[in-house]
Amino acid sequence: MKKTFRKAVVAVVILAVAVSAGWAGGKSEEKTQYLKLVAGTVGGTWFSGGSVMASIITEKVDGAQASPTIGGGVSNCRDIDANRAQIGYSYSGTALDAWEGRAPFDKPLRNLRYVGNQYIEPFHILALAEKGIKTLDDLKGRPFSPGKEGFTGKIIFDQLLKEANLSYDSLGKATLVGFPDGALLMKDKHIDYYAILTMPPNSAFMDVDTFSPIDILQLPTDLIDRMVAKYGMERWTIPAGAYSGVKKDVKTVGYSGGFYCNKDLSEDLVYRITKAMWDNYERFVEVAPASFKSQIKLENALRGTVLPLHPGAYKFYKEKGMEIPKAGIPQ
């Protein structure tokens, strides 16, 4: 009886050692790391891309599982910095505002790190062509919409007014609405222009363009230069024909839409995530709007770099022989 008891004790000890070592039945298992990925609203580009990124991580990165959830550029930065989420989308300008502690952030968020760009989304001012809006002075006294409070497009519009020495007081009546409502107001001639951050043509405003041709305001070159230097924006050209009233290319500015992560993720994990992302980039292309498809490729990965890269992402891009922007050097 004592011999049987001793054998049972030995068996329990062996099993306990096996479990604590992470194996059973002779097969080792890596401890799984669960990652929350903050994306965008359901139905939007970010939610689709975030779902793809989560599936790539879960399928291709051993020892990691990711699940996407809804979010937005500002809230994603806050959640990643506080480690309520570990990875997610944001705009380069929003991330830079977070890093510097500029509005709408009330303190610097220094736990953010860059993983890589997917596309550039341009800011522009849509106007009814019949209104003859050709300069910033032509905006004065006219009814308009800068988008909704909290929209990145409105934040850029506010920055533009500051850099151009303009104010809301000099403009006409402002109505804070989203894209669909803004398009309806323009279609019914209740507003003359709308400030927007999106890849043209936008479906809501294409409907307006069918009835009343839409033009895009050309911003002054010196204003574009200041926006790029001060707010981490990228230069962009909207081609002629984006709407029926756009007769020639329009130069403007835009923000990179890309992935950011928390600094405390391990170098090895982020290296493998970055590698898996670019090894499988075609999966993003499959769900991206047609206008983004030409942008999502490795050679564009470091566009919009305004924050330090995570060391794991930095290692991947260095191995690929890519030139790292100064702002991207890890801290």
Quickly state the pLDDT bin for 31 (edges 50, 70, 90). Answer: confident
Task: For domain 33-121+256-328, give the CATH superfamily.
Answer: Periplasmic binding protein-like II (3.40.190.10)
Measured CA angle at 73 (ends 327, 261), to 5 deg:
55
* Percent of the residues in the chain that have a pLDDT greater than 70, as a whole number: 91
Q: What angle do CA 156, 102, 198 make, to 5 degrees?
A: 25
Please tell me the predicted confidence (pLDDT) of residue 30.
58
pLDDT greater than 90 at residue 212: yes
In this structure, of 28-37, 81-90, 295-304, the range with the lowest mean pLDDT score is 28-37
pTM, two decimal places = 0.78
Position 321 pLDDT exceeds 50: yes
Decide if pLDDT at 317 tops 90: yes
pLDDT digits 0-9 by tens, 161-183:
999 999 999 999 999 998 899 99
Nearest residue to 196 (alpha-carbon basis) of 294, 119, 127: 127
Give pLDDT tens digits for 227-285: 998 888 889 999 999 999 999 999 999 999 999 999 999 999 999 999 999 999 999 99
**CATH architecture assignment, domain 122-254:** 3-Layer(aba) Sandwich (3.40)
Task: Say what the pLDDT of residue 107 is.
Answer: 97
Q: Encoding tokens for residue 63?
A: 């020892």
Q: Is the pLDDT of residue 127 over 80?
A: yes
Range list for CATH 3.40.190.10 in the chain: 33-121+256-328, 122-254
In this structure, the number of other CB atoms found within 10 A of the CB of residue 220 comes to: 13
DSSP-assigned letters across all residues of 57-91: HHHHSTTEEEEEE---HHHHHHHHHTTSSSEEEEE
pLDDT of residue 23: 32
In whole angstroms, give the CA distance from residue 221 to residue 251. Answer: 8
Give the mean model confidence (pLDDT) for residues 4-32: 40
